[in-house]
Structure 1
Amino acid sequence: MPQMHADPASAGLASATSDAVTLKVTGLRTHFRIGSTIAKAVDDVDLTVRQGKTLAVVGESGSGKSVTSLSIMRLLAPSATIVDGTMAFTRRDGTVVDLARAKNRVMRGIRGQEIAMIFQEPMTSLNPLYTVGDQIIEMIRLHETISRAEARGRARRMLELVEIASPERRLDDYPHSMSGGMRQRVMIALALACNPFLLIADEPTTALDVTIQAQILELLRRLQQEMGMSILFITHNLGVVAEIADDVAVMYAGKVVEQAPVNALFKAPRHPYTKGLIACIPDPARDRDAAGGRRLLSPIPGSVPSVTNLPKGCAYADRCPLVVAKCREESPPLIAVGALHSTRCWRHEDV
């Protein structure tokens, strides 16, 4: 039976098999109209989020990560349109709905209750005019028929779950009176209040210092184990990916250019862009100047091309150290290079 109304503070779902899939995105294309120009922000993206596992989507700003997540939630700006693709979401009761074509009424029932989202900056997501308790209570009562007193009790338990001290008192605090790390914990409590089956976390630690970032990542790992939910984790930081992900999809200029289990991706990247991102991760044991002992960084030259003016061939060609004539003429498809490992590169064997 579905567990839509289970209390997240005490929920414990049976561990899922790695073969079960919560969300399968196929051929997703999301375009923006800017005057007479079409911006292909997401262009033929395939993603698979396994049940109870974390898929990290990584890439630079402008790669299409956040637009992909907003497409899944159907929270796009009026200028954006999902022009093609399917997003098959397996609900907790086992039924499957295509989020790309679901009616607005169905999506309103899914958002918050079955798929929840943590946004990058809590101060723009939390309403400054209402206490954090009122906002969590409103979320619960929107999806469940329970009294305000019962919802307040659930909200207090949610703050306990995300390790906020003095939760009863904090329910009556306003967002501006809390630290950045505490506001992010409130956002997690708000997202998990209705025990979602899939959590989308869009750069949830970007604005936090490294100590608080580590605490938030550990909290998400623990809550995932306790609640059995799947996570789609959006980030530009491969160091964070190494800490939290089971699977990784690397995006560049609106396309997935490489996808693999996390260990395979770090051990043997098969796209020059992925290799470049890994080289940007600080590593004191590796990146030393022999003479002065300084840490060296290996930045990727250039920048992501505009999605309103993409090149004819591979979008990464102008930045790629392995580029050949074919790269500039033909856009490579996703090529299987191993079990669950694929790359969009003509020269993957030379990476």
Structure 2
Amino acid sequence: MEQLESSVSTKNKPSQTGSTGNSLMAERLQDRVFTLGVTTLLLCIVMSVVFPDQFPRVENLSQLLLNLSVDTIVAVGMMVLMIAGMFDLSVGSVVAFSGGMAGYLMYYQHTNFLVAILAGLAGALVIGFVNGVLIAKARINPMIQTLAMMGIVRGFALMLSGAGIQNFPYEFIYIGQSKLLGLQAPIWYMLATVLIFSFLVNRTTFFRKYYFIGGNEKAAELSGINVNKMKIWAFVISATLAGIAGILLASRLGAALSTSGRGLELRVITAVILGGASLSGGHGKIWGAFLGALFMAIVNNALIIGRVSGYWQEVILGIILIAAVGIDQWLIRRSERVGKVV
């Protein structure tokens, strides 16, 4: 009997190993950060083959990363929000507003550049706080509230910047145009933001609460989590990061423009959903936000190199957003079916 059990267990070992390998592979394929990383890598290879004299060049890749920096910093804040089951449509306007506030104070009021930067960030923080309070306390729908705030803040940005503000102090310009190891400063700020928030979301109790809120808000509240406070903080974080992105963009361009950030909210939401966030909340990783923004930047770079009309670029962006939401909904339904079977 013992010999029989031994032989049976020996025979089963290969199959168990095989099933374990298959399950690991299945898990990998269901990990949207992993699949997006592989897809992005394949896209880079295709681009290098199709446009060998343009895409792989250091100048192009450096510019791609530079353009990516603003979107990624904003996407990190959006990922925190979407993990909690919310989103913010006003982030693009906040980018223009924070840069416009700093530019207005430096150019017209001759304010010290550090004070101007702090004022721009404080303005962004207040916008996030107002959004959070009205959504958490007054129970206004996040889409309605942030859509309204998008228009309000864009109007303030237009009043501050007008047709554009230039001639900033050298110290302010240096923040966005200085280089380290051949890469401009915004790229390093972007990487620092991703690393810091990846650690915070993965390792700290405060940020882990957002997964519980996004997964089941009522259960999170019953477990003792102050859901309203957490929501307010999420919008403050998102708006402040958008403010940082706006300051960096104004510094990098050497100009504060009221048109900065137009369409940014859709690009960022698309990137975050591609990176593993769910409209229902409870899912997402900070590195997914980075990879989603990177994928979008590469697609945009491909369209520019391929000399595709700007009108078609908007169409393609919309198609990618619809596809990303469709994939998200399909995964939700699939997980629900699996849960019922189990």
Q: Taking structure 2 as the reference length, what is the TM-score of the superposition? A: 0.24
Kindly indicate which of the two structures has a greater share of residues assigned to strand: 1
Kindly indicate which of the two structures has a greater share of residues assigned to helix: 2
Q: Which has the higher contact order (CA 8 A, sep 6+)?
A: 2
Structure whose CA Rg is larger: 2
